[in-house]
Amino acid sequence: MRSSPGALLTAALLLAPDASAERPSRDVFYVALLAAAGAGLGEIETAAWLVRGPDGRETLLPWPPASQRKSHAWKRPLPAGAAALLHTHPASENPRPSVRDRDVARRIRMPVYAISRWAIYRADPDGTVSPVASPCWTPTIDWTVARRLLAVSTERALVAEASSGGPRPDVEGAVR
């Protein structure tokens, strides 16, 4: 049975708490988001919050579908437990975080990940941009590896519950 990219996006892998900055199991989040964005070949961006629960487990909270090409906006308060913003960049665009992505990271005080078929980059609140290593990107995404990851990971999936609360400001027109 095959899952649709949208179903894969709404599913989130349960991860054990870990003190490391990058968790190898986040690869399923990167792959699911890119798959939901038409494998990164379309012009519409897809985004989700990486939300950490009280027990340290992480899930994805997808944004509503984008209404504009090459841009996406979240017009509500940040969800409770938000730890990072993940979003896709179209293959036709620079895979690195844009100036706007870096500004958003500073404003929301958390990392913003730019995911494209070419690479994954992380923009930190201090303005640092760094590549993110993933076994699925060698050097571009390897869909054979990515599909195996999704097949295994979705068996342990959990749908993230939406939260409209949070003490942080709205993120208007957050990614581009």
| Domains of the chain, residue spans | 5-159
Give 60-67's long-range contacts (Cβ < 8 A, gap of 24+).
60/9, 60/10, 60/11, 60/12, 60/29, 60/32, 60/33, 60/86, 60/160, 61/12, 61/160, 61/161, 61/162, 61/163, 62/9, 62/10, 62/36, 62/160
pLDDT at 22 over 70: no
Can you tell me the mean pLDDT for 66-83? 76
Give the global pTM. Answer: 0.73
Q: What is the pLDDT of residues 124-149, one digit of tens each?
A: 999 999 999 988 888 788 988 888 88
What average pLDDT does the chain have? 75
pLDDT at 167 over 50: no
